[in-house]
Amino acid sequence: MNDEKIVLFARLKVKKGTEDELKQAALAIVADSRSEEGCLNYDFHQSLEDSTIFTWHETWANKSALDAHFKMPYFAELGARVKDITDEPLQLILTKMVSEKA
């Protein structure tokens, strides 16, 4: 798994009324994350059906690049900033593409 692309889907639910706080904190690391070596895609989304649910869709060149991302200081800072506003634990799903690219 270390040499193949990793597609990550992450889901986080925050407490009602804290949506803007999460958006501000998460958007602050988008540019840095996108500039990391091995980052092929990094997008942050908010649910249309439930404004307290946010998702990330990321593609990394390999597992090593993703592991390096998780060790970045700004990633730890994001976790510290939002730990008190989360309503459910962060869910991570690591995948690999099975179909051909569109």
pLDDT in tens, 13-67: 999 999 999 999 999 999 999 999 999 999 999 999 999 999 999 999 999 999 9
- Worst-scoring range by mean pLDDT, 3-7, 78-82, 97-101? 97-101
Instruction: Please give the structure tokens belonging to residue 20.
Output: 């803007």
pLDDT band, residue 2 (cuts 50/70/90): low
3-state secondary structure of 11: strand
Assigned domain for 34 exists: yes
3-state secondary structure of 76: helix
Predicted confidence (pLDDT) per residue in 88-97, tens digit = 999 999 999 8
pLDDT of residue 102: 79
- Count structural domains, the chain: 1
pLDDT of residue 96: 92
The answer to whether residue 1 scores a pLDDT higher than 60 is no
Assigned domain for 19 exists: yes
Sole residue written with tokens 């540019």: 31
pLDDT of residue 61: 98
Assigned domain for 102 exists: no
Q: What CATH number has the domain bearing residue 48?
A: 3.30.70.100
Which residues form the domain of 89? 6-95
Counted residue by residue, the chain has a size of: 102
The answer to whether residue 9 scores a pLDDT higher than 70 is yes
